[in-house]
Structure 1
């Protein structure tokens, strides 16, 4: 009886100890996941503040347009064909200018170049201090693109692209953004100048109630992986509100039986928006259980889901990244 009683007591202690250990480990998983998602959300908010300030500075340039035009260095940019400061000999302290071959007021284009020349140093400083930002630029309805760091326009862009036809312009225009506020392009798309999959942060710039241009910060998926995913030892995956995979570790991709994520870049120039294909969408998965998991987390708001059975299972914890309405998933393999 005494021995039996001891065994029962020992078993209770072991079970309680295991439950406590499991609880501590589970809490640690939640804390790390929430910290990573909160850090990303905080950084994105800082980018919003940065681009709003950049927009205000640019509006001030237009307020004093005549002054900036009069004292501008007219020889700063030498336009050759559809570009200036482009290609292998580009000055790394300046932006690249792209002026497509379209019907436009070239005098207005030149004035805009002179007025916005002071942006070069600011663009460069933003790219230097913001590790997730791969490039800073604006696109104007006057058909002028100013982008830093410089790139090879001649081999990357068609000579007659309409800048207003791309999502990184029209999603912030008057029709799509009447509030004139900051806009996130949340759909993952392929960068026309060869930097792979990315998202963009946009800020419209107005002068005398006219949309002059749309400012943009580009954030590549590679930058997200390096700045957040790879800095954790957790098996992390980020998906958007449609269930499309944004970024993730290879183990997470393999665990959910998704195709390998490749940072697609064009070997040829492009002429329109190009988005990530349905192969990377959890709702399109061949696994009924993965589709159920996506539905419970993304649509129903569940924060935890268990895939598999007692023999082989995976615990998935989810934390919403508020600013983009994305979900960061922590996959715990057991």
Structure 2
């Protein structure tokens, strides 16, 4: 063998080895993202099935409301003004109930509270069955809000609200949900009952052709991160189709030139008073390359992005959820 061929052969072997390692790494990342998405969607499907059953029960209450009202001999809830007067620590099986000042008929609303009191036990069963669930609730066109578990409703909730104006109500209507089934509200929002940034699963309740109420459950972003991301080996993000970060590892979020995190923890940041989820959007990153990555993943349907200018970042792998408009992203750093 000619001496000049030896360096060339070594060079080819190095290139082949690096290419093989990179292919193997991308394959591993893809497998990890598949497992992550599968675990989230599996839990999501379970909760949708539970919500369908809960809505069926609610439908039965509406259908039999006259019979239920005739059998009631004593009110389960007493009210101080518009608020039920039970406190969060008075009975762990009661909800907080409020008949908002926007109700068109207070006496009719009181009857609705009475014939839907059976929801309390159904709410409690689901709440204690799934750690992921933060609260369950119903909001009606009669401006009644029932939330389990009970909370300090008089000091937290504005009595003059119109619940039908919130996305957790109108996202379930016929225009936004023609199937009339369970529906995830994909964009996180601030809970008016004081639970912070949440994700919601809702289901409409119809009285004949009239949308009489919406029943739902909430998952806080905090609980979501704990359940699916906190113990993962690696740096991951879950983002909406708009680029908002639903959850992620602190190192990944900071590396993508997002705003500073409170105590370097995303979970603590989302609980702070000045948190705005729009600030944590990939398209708002200070890094031109991160914005290019967002475009590649969310607008151009690419699944891999190579960083060139960000010295400590190597590449990122992306995979779209199959059921909802979310994306899981794995961020890789230089070793």
TM-score, with structure 1 as normaliser: 0.89
Query: 2:284 and 2:17 mapped to 1: Cα distance?
Result: 41
Query: 1:117 and 1:212 mapped to 2: Cα distance?
Result: 16
> Structure 1 stretches of 5 or more lacking a match?
268-274
**1:145 Cα deviation after fit:** 0.8
Partner secondary structure for residue 198 of structure 1: strand
In the alignment, is residue 264 of structure 1 matched against residue 259 of structure 2?
A: no
Partner residue, 2:147: 147
Please show how residues 90-239 of structure 1 align to structure 2 within 5 Å: 90-239=90-239
In the alignment, is residue 43 of structure 1 matched against residue 50 of structure 2?
A: no
Partner secondary structure for residue 241 of structure 2: coil
Change (3 A) 1:105 1:265: farther
Residue 199 of structure 1 contacts residue 218 of structure 1 at CA under 8 Å; is this kept in 2?
yes
Select between 226-235 and 107-116 the one with higher mean Cα deviation. 107-116
Change (3 A) 1:117 1:278: closer
Query: 1:217 and 1:20 mapped to 2: Cα distance?
Result: 46
Please show how residues 303-318 of structure 1 align to structure 2 within 5 Å: 303-309=303-309, 312-318=312-318
Partner residue, 1:245: 245
Change (3 A) 1:229 1:110: same
Query: 1:186 and 1:198 mapped to 2: Cα distance?
Result: 10
Query: 1:115 and 1:324 mapped to 2: Cα distance?
Result: 35
Select between 197-206 and 307-316 the one with higher mean Cα deviation. 307-316
Change (3 A) 1:265 1:81: farther
Change (3 A) 1:266 1:290: closer
Query: 1:248 and 1:141 mapped to 2: Cα distance?
Result: 36
**1:91 Cα deviation after fit:** 1.3
Partner secondary structure for residue 53 of structure 2: helix
Tell me how large the CA RMSD over aligned residues is. Answer: 2.5
Question: CA offsets per residue over residues 111-149 of structure 1, 9 Å max, x none?
Answer: 211221111111111112222221111100111111111
Query: 1:310 and 1:221 mapped to 2: Cα distance?
Result: 29
Query: 2:5 and 2:175 mapped to 1: Cα distance?
Result: 76
**1:96 Cα deviation after fit:** 1.0
TM-score, with structure 2 as normaliser: 0.89
**1:288 Cα deviation after fit:** 1.7
Change (3 A) 1:73 1:314: farther
